[in-house]
Amino acid sequence: MAGKVMHLLNRDGRFYARLVVPKELRPYLNGKSEFRTPLGADYRDALKKLPGAVALIQHKIALGQRRAAEAGARTATVARYPLAPDQIALRNYQARLQIDDDIRNRYPGYATSEVDDQLVAALRDGVAGRLRDSEYRELIGARIERYRHLGNHDEPEGSDEWRILARAICVSEYEALERVVERDEGDFSGMPSHPLLANAKPVEESKAPISIKQLFADYIASRQIVGKGKGAEKRWSPVFTDLIKFIGHDDARRLTKDDLRRWRDARLKTHSPRTISDVYLASIRTVLNWAVAEDRLALNVAQDVRQEAPKEQQSREQGYTLDEALVILRAARDYRPKESSNPATREGPQMTAAKRWISVLCAFTGARVSEMTQLRTHDIREEPEGFIIRIAPDAGTVKAGNYRDVPVHPQLVAMGFIDFVKASQPGPLFYKNRPGINPVAASQTVAGRISEWLQSMSIVPEGVQPSHAWRHRFKTVGEEEGISRRTLDALQGHSARTAGENYGDVTLKTRRTAIDKFPWYSL
């Protein structure tokens, strides 16, 4: 599946170029939090217009940076890595072709759209020096400011040096458009003909290294600010550690496509293609995309490094059948821990309770196993609609990030679950509460032990996930009982599939009616 095009927004079938304004610059840009430029309803045409629209928005943001600097709120960037105009033009030319190449790799129809003739004419005038300063600013001012931000120049607008640079960038933009037209016809052999680019000497990189590990940490921090990223931090951290160890350094600037391909091929010897595709490469690609969007890196070298994964073959349903469910629920009901006189090997009361109740809870709530193992006594309460289980992020983690209330099924009450909760000490129900304990790690440990216990009795069918199978069964039974998909999604914490499904609320009364429709298990 193709990734999203950076800065392209689709709203109700119409496309826009969109950039977020940094918070510190909003007071200098009339309080705007973002800029949008309409690109029309045709997708291929929008892709052609996107680079120019983004450049104009970047220019507006650059003006905000200048106003902030003039007000003393922000220090203007100095030329820390100065380059000659032809060297800046060469870099701009290469960057434009890289963007063109990336879009062609993702969207085959891109090659059939037209180049803007007015843009071509304006660039010709720019190369010839026929434009006023204001016209250069409107045409390629954003590109000039980009290289100022990168520290490659600090020329004041309107100076002779600034106009020389402006003309050089016009050359690079015009030459890049010529390559785009050639590529549309299948010719990728074109080289710049203008002497400014043809004779420019590439610059040896001498920038400070950018830590891959730090990029990952900063990405996770940016996600956690908005209440996300908990799962990614745990699952992706070993991936980044492994990559750094494999390539032998921690510099994102030195990371290459070849490095990633060699790493991918080496890990395919010990991991499945699906894991390599969906975890290893996807995590690196996501973090580097973020780094590019934040101007920490110029390019994402992982963008086109992929691994094809075979489609998973299913030999049976994903959820438990009724007979399989009955076997597991009876094993949970009848569970007794082994006798032991040694306190070190004796099973704790919380683990005994987990083996007794977790499978039953999953069967009657359709919740994720970790959402049940993290329950606390005060997460279960009595309302006019009956007893309610609140699945809350502050208990540990909730995948969708929001709390939800699930009514307690009458059979759970009859089996003594509410009596068990009332007799328990305040705090976690299924793991021992100790100072400094990590609720997420503790609840996941319990979930893992429940899975091991079930599999040790050889009552979990091959190819079935011991606890996740309850989620599949819950939805299957719910649909058999005529419960709406939206109500089932609300009970299980699944996100709405369309914007329309977000309208209105699935009330507690509706949820109670739905839960009561689930049949009792004959235990």
The winner for highest mean pLDDT among 77-86, 426-435, 488-497 is: 426-435
Strands (E), 354-422: 380-383, 386-391, 404-407
Bigger pLDDT: 462 vs 122: 122
Coil, strand, or helix at residue 245? helix
Q: What percent of the chain has pLDDT over 70?
A: 89
Q: Is residue 336 pLDDT above 50, yes or no?
A: yes
Model pLDDT for residues 206-236, shown as the tens digit of each residue: 456 788 998 998 898 888 777 676 678 888 9
pLDDT value for 208: 65
Measure the CA–CA gap between 428 and 424, rounded to whole angstroms.
9
Q: Is residue 142 pLDDT above 70, yes or no?
A: yes
- Lookup: tokens for 274: 């699906």
Coil, strand, or helix at residue 211? strand
Model pLDDT for residues 281-322, shown as the tens digit of each residue: 999 999 999 998 888 888 899 988 988 877 766 667 788 889
Cα separations (Å) of 342 from 52, 346, 449, 453, 472? 73, 6, 20, 20, 40
Give residue 173's pLDDT band: very low, low, confident or very high (50, 70, 90). Answer: very high
Measure the CA–CA gap between 212 and 243, rounded to whole angstroms.
9
Do 151 and 77 form a contact (C-beta atoms < 8 A)?
yes
pLDDT, mean over the chain? 84
Measured in degrees and rounded to the nearest 5, phi and psi for residue 67 equal: -65, -40
Give residue 129's pLDDT band: very low, low, confident or very high (50, 70, 90). Answer: very high
Specify the residue for token string 């120049």: 153
Q: Is residue 75 pLDDT above 60, yes or no?
A: no
pLDDT value for 283: 93
Average pLDDT over residues 134-154: 87
- Lookup: tokens for 85: 């105009």
Cα separations (Å) of 288 from 50, 261, 265, 283, 284? 21, 16, 20, 9, 6
pLDDT value for 395: 66
Measure the CA–CA gap between 209 and 297, rounded to whole angstroms.
11
pLDDT value for 299: 85
Q: Is residue 79 pLDDT above 90, yes or no?
A: no
Coil, strand, or helix at residue 251? strand
Q: Is residue 101 pLDDT above 60, yes or no?
A: yes
Q: Is residue 455 pLDDT above 90, yes or no?
A: no
Do 179 and 187 form a contact (C-beta atoms < 8 A)?
no
Q: What is the dihedral of CA 459, 468, 335, 437, to 10 degrees?
A: 140
Do 360 and 332 form a contact (C-beta atoms < 8 A)?
yes
Measure the CA–CA gap between 498 and 281, rounded to whole angstroms.
28
Burial of 26 (0-12, 13-18, 19+ CB in 10 A): middle
